[in-house]
Amino acid sequence: MRTGPILKILCVLAAAGCAQTQPGESPEYAGRMKESGEQYLACITREAEKDMKNPTGAEDIATAAHGRCWSAWQAYREATNANFVHGARTRDEMQFGRDKAEAHLRQFEREARRAIVDTVVQRSLGSGKPAP
């Protein structure tokens, strides 16, 4: 079982989504967020590997992997929320932090699922090479 292409894609996603510390974020919370994000990505990769057979089921495989990794996703969600609201003092700052966290989480999940779907399709077609 080859995990190289998907791990490369997921590592790029994790680095892009978690590498920078934004103003108002805590390096401590950002570190927790990055670590839990990497754990989630590793989990969905492992779970998707179990089912990679059919490109027509690629979306279902990605959805099932996400479901089986729900606790890892929740840990990442909690770490992300804590990071983005860190240092907020007013209700408006808290809301802004929660909105930023939610936008980040939607994008992160979308990119992770897309990476899984692309990998499933490539493997089922016999390519084995990552998409450009």
Quote the number of domains for the chain: 1
Q: Is residue 61 part of a domain?
A: yes
Q: Is residue 129 part of a domain?
A: no
Q: How far apart are CA 79 and CA 31, in angstroms?
A: 9
Specify the 3-state DSSP secondary structure of 54: coil
Q: Is residue 130 part of a domain?
A: no
For the whole model, what pTM was predicted? 0.72
Q: Is residue 35 part of a domain?
A: yes
Q: Which domain, by its residues, includes 68?
A: 4-19+26-124
Residue 68 neighbours by CB under 8 Å, 6+ apart: 43, 47
Q: Is residue 132 part of a domain?
A: no
Specify the 3-state DSSP secondary structure of 59: helix
pLDDT (tens digit per residue) in 49-85: 888 876 668 889 999 999 999 999 999 999 999 999 9
Whether residue 12 has pLDDT greater than 70: no
Greater confidence (70 vs 122) lies with 70
Q: Is residue 94 part of a domain?
A: yes
Q: Is residue 45 part of a domain?
A: yes
